[in-house]
Structure 1
Amino acid sequence: MLLGVIADDFTGAGDIANTLAKGLPGQGGLAVTQYFGIPSSPAAAAVEAGVISLKTRSAPIGEAIAQALAALEWLQTQGCVQYVFKYCSTFDSTPEGNIGPVGEAIAGALGVKGVIACPAFPTVGRTVHQGHLFVHDRLLSESSMRHHPLTPMPDPDIRRWLARQTNDPVGLVTVATVRAGSAAVRDALDVAAGGGQTLVICDAAVDEDLVTLGTAAAGMPFLTGGSGIAIGLPANFIRSGLARGGVSHFSGVDGPEAILAGSCSTATRQQIAIHAKNHPVLALDVDAIMAGRLGVAEILDFVTGHHGQAPLVYSSDDPSDVEELQRRYGREKLARTLDGLFADTARELVKNGVRRLVVAGGETSGAVAQALGLGALDIGPEIDPGVPILAGPNRDIALALKSGNFGAPDFFEKALKFLKGDVTHERR
């Protein structure tokens, strides 16, 4: 294994795994495996990049650091020469963490400073300019992320936001330096390291900026960012002869299907509305769930009664309604109950023959993946930017784990077609 990634949620892990598997046009990417949790056995010999999916984005800081360092230790035993800490392209975090504490902890374990920190993902409208994060043409603080139920982001100045989470000062590499080329970026990072700055925000507005940062990172032990930061990394290993590049194939998985949506993002709610026009959907009554009147059995009846019709079950709701439910039941209790319900439902669905499963929402996807005990999955074709097919090693199950804000309006129907192999697509 050449490259090891530690991701703070499950959909984000699939996102960066997808980026590493694609690589740059005409060059191909790396042979990537996504692990759900820290593996207990060595990686397969053919794996060039291993992505460890953790569920630490909103975990207590001490727990998040401990899990990240344990993941780092396993990746080190696999022979990795470079490591990435992957977080969301909207920099999801509280004023206390976890991006800063985890990033500093990994950097400390590796003995490095002047570490790239760049959440930019231009393909889905996330860009960084003068240290400020934009979502399309709006500052982060003016996007729907301001009202995120777990990690609301009221400040678009991510250098300032990160400084609230870290012990060391936070640096900045501006767009002017990035556009001056990879050598200029390396020099700026060396200066930052000499000034005691561990994490350094780097501007990026287009994919070419991310390629420049990736080229600058060649030989660097550690960098952090959204999935976009990985765009240029496979080329470094291919140029050096350590990785082969190439093309991989995915033939599809047939069988019963289901869609589970726990995200309250605007994108997911729009996708649900579009899907509901032509397919059966079940809106979960949260009050009934909390009172014990609605559970797995009722959801199973709905899904199995609509096999072949792309049935969708969702708890997604308007942010104002979610806030009211959180006040009524408590944020942690509500999240724990809903995640547990989706996890138990997914487990029973698979036991009852579901072979194609689409899940929307980072926390929901993490709960589902952990419940299924999937271990390691191969990375298949990209469904939409940032969302690949995840396939079991025996092709007995195929999943799509979607971050709440990702995906085209018709994502759910499209994803099921991709999982079945109805869409011809080759990669690597």
Structure 2
Amino acid sequence: MLLGAIADDFTGASDLANMLARNGMATTLYVGVPEGDVAPAEAGVVALKTRSIAPGDAVRQSLDGLAWLQRQGAGQILFKYCSTFDSTPEGNIGPVAEALSAALDAGVAVVCPVFPATGRTLYQGHLFVGDRLLNESGMEKHPLTPMTDPDIRRWLRRQTRGEVGLVPYAVVRQGAEAIRAALAEIGKTAKLAVVDAVTDDDLKAIGAAIADARLITGGSGIAIGLPDNFRKAGKLGAGGTAYSGLSGPGVALSGSCSRASLAQLARHLEGHPGFALRPDAVMAGDVTVAAARDFVLSHADEAPIVHSSADPDAVKAAQERFGREAVAGAIERFFGTLAQELVAAGVTCIAVGGGETSGAVVAALGVRQLAIGPEIDPGVPALAGEAGARSIRLALKSGNFGASDFYAKALDVMGTSR
């Protein structure tokens, strides 16, 4: 294994695996830390569910992932988090990055949550989503990780013990040598360096500058420039993984409340049946998994959607009444159990919206390894795996990713050989 990656949620892991595969690395996605050694891959992505847990637990699980990747021979480690830097003032991005850096004796590590294809850019250390600062993008209302400050250096300083440097855009535009020199200077006083980027070409220049880095941190966009380093060294083979579509019933599950997810839900409901999970109804037991399962199976040929997506204010009201973690846990368990029962009943294709929801679904199905298929929308590939003895196809979408017609398109790609 040349490159080993640790992702803090399942949608991010599939996003990163997609990026690496598209750029020519034979890539395998692992759900959780495997128990033993596996068949060789040029890049291995370990998908964890550590974004919203206690920082200490996130650090421990990430270090377990690091140890396994090192046993597989990975010489370079990438810590992947969301391109909207989803975290709280306590963590978990900063604590995990510091722990990985210490374990690797990594020197200075890049911090770059940029993904231009989805509108995430970084200028003077400030993160933008499209033409809006992060804290004006809707992320300030995220139910688990509200992002109220677009200054990534300032956010990281709240989470970490050390200094955080900045490689500004004026330096990045000068190319790889200038970036490398700036990082070396920052490395005299800091272990983390936020690096501006606006375009894919910027990310390629950053990738060239960090070819020898032991640790890299960022969104999936940072991986744009990494495969070329291995290619130039003559270490890459033919790349690619085997994937084929799988015919059969499909369903969409939406647990995200982002603006993009709400728009995708509204679009899908225009032509497909939907089953709503109101947070207060789930908590009160007024809606059951059996009812949702029967609804989906009765509309199996119509690409139905089951959704807990709601206006953030409605979600906040339920959280205030029952507790944030209690509401999130109940909805995740609902989706996980529902996915189990649907697959047992013959559903073969599941498109999932939301990182926490995706993690709950994959964990409940017991999927351990996934092959990377065609890209559905930027950052979202189709995935092939096994749930017990059943073959399934999955699409795991971060809440903010995907076009308005994502769900219909995803089910089509998963159910059709490409």
Equivalents in 2 of 1:248, 1:33: separation in Å?
8
Which of 342-351 and 388-397 deviates more? 388-397
Q: Give 1:307's match in structure 2, choosing from 300, 307, 319.
A: 300
Residue 202 of structure 2 aligns with an amino acid whose one-letter code is D
Residue 229 of structure 1 aligns with an amino acid whose one-letter code is I
2:354 aligned residue: 361
| 1:155 matches 2:137 | no
Residue 141 of structure 1 aligns with an amino acid whose one-letter code is N
3-state DSSP of counterpart to 2:275 = strand
1:263 aligned residue: 256
Equivalents in 1 of 2:120, 2:278: separation in Å?
33
Equivalents in 2 of 1:246, 1:81: separation in Å?
18
Which of 399-408 and 293-302 deviates more? 293-302
Q: How big is the shift at 1:86?
A: 0.4
1:62 aligned residue: 56
Equivalents in 2 of 1:43, 1:199: separation in Å?
32
Equivalents in 1 of 2:87, 2:344: separation in Å?
35
| 1:405 matches 2:392 | no
- 8 A contact 1:253–1:395 mirrored in 2: no
| 1:32 matches 2:27 | yes
CA shift digits 1:1-41 (9 cap, x unpaired): 11100000110001111110111xxxxx1111111110012
1:12 aligned residue: 12
2:215 aligned residue: 222
1:26 aligned residue: none
Q: How big is the shift at 1:247?
A: 4.9
Q: Give 2:198's match in structure 1, choosing from 197, 205, 210.
A: 205
3-state DSSP of counterpart to 2:302 = coil
CA shift digits 1:64-88 (9 cap, x unpaired): 0000000000000000010000000
- 8 A contact 2:15–2:220 mirrored in 1: yes
2:188 aligned residue: 194
CA RMSD of superposed structures (Å): 1.2
Q: Give 1:93's match in structure 2, choosing from 82, 87, 90.
A: 87
Equivalents in 1 of 2:208, 2:93: separation in Å?
23
Equivalents in 1 of 2:275, 2:55: separation in Å?
36
3-state DSSP of counterpart to 2:122 = strand
| TM-score normalised by length of structure 2 | 0.97
| 1:115 matches 2:115 | no
2:289 aligned residue: 296
Q: How big is the shift at 1:246?
A: 4.4
Q: Give 1:52's match in structure 2, choosing from 46, 49, 56.
A: 46
3-state DSSP of counterpart to 1:396 = strand
Equivalenced residue count is 416
CA shift digits 1:350-393 (9 cap, x unpaired): 11111101110000001111111100101111100010111126
3-state DSSP of counterpart to 2:17 = helix
Residue correspondence of structure 1 range 327-406 to structure 2 within 5 A: 327-392=320-385, 396-406=391-401
CA shift digits 1:208-231 (9 cap, x unpaired): 000111111112111000000000
- 8 A contact 1:250–1:421 mirrored in 2: no
Residue 151 of structure 1 aligns with an amino acid whose one-letter code is T
Q: Give 1:129's match in structure 2, choosing from 123, 132, 137.
A: 123
Give aligned-pair identity as a percent: 56
Q: How big is the shift at 1:194?
A: 1.3
- 8 A contact 1:120–1:127 mirrored in 2: yes
| 1:242 matches 2:235 | yes
CA shift digits 1:277-335 (9 cap, x unpaired): 11111112333321223211001100100011101000000011111111111111100
- 8 A contact 2:135–2:147 mirrored in 1: yes
> 1:395/1:31 Cα in 2 relative to 1: closer, same or farther (>3 Å)?
farther
Q: How big is the shift at 1:249?
A: 5.3
1:104 aligned residue: 98
3-state DSSP of counterpart to 1:289 = helix
- 8 A contact 2:82–2:219 mirrored in 1: yes
- 8 A contact 1:238–1:245 mirrored in 2: no
Equivalents in 1 of 2:131, 2:409: separation in Å?
27
Q: How big is the shift at 1:251?
A: 2.5
Q: Which runs of 5+ in 2 are unaligned?
A: none
3-state DSSP of counterpart to 1:56 = coil
Which of 102-111 and 386-395 deviates more? 386-395
- 8 A contact 2:394–2:414 mirrored in 1: yes
3-state DSSP of counterpart to 1:379 = strand
CA shift digits 1:128-178 (9 cap, x unpaired): 000000011011111100111111111111111111111110000011111
Residue 390 of structure 1 aligns with an amino acid whose one-letter code is L
Residue 119 of structure 1 aligns with an amino acid whose one-letter code is P
Residue 290 of structure 1 aligns with an amino acid whose one-letter code is M
| TM-score normalised by length of structure 1 | 0.95
- 8 A contact 2:279–2:315 mirrored in 1: no
Residue 11 of structure 1 aligns with an amino acid whose one-letter code is T
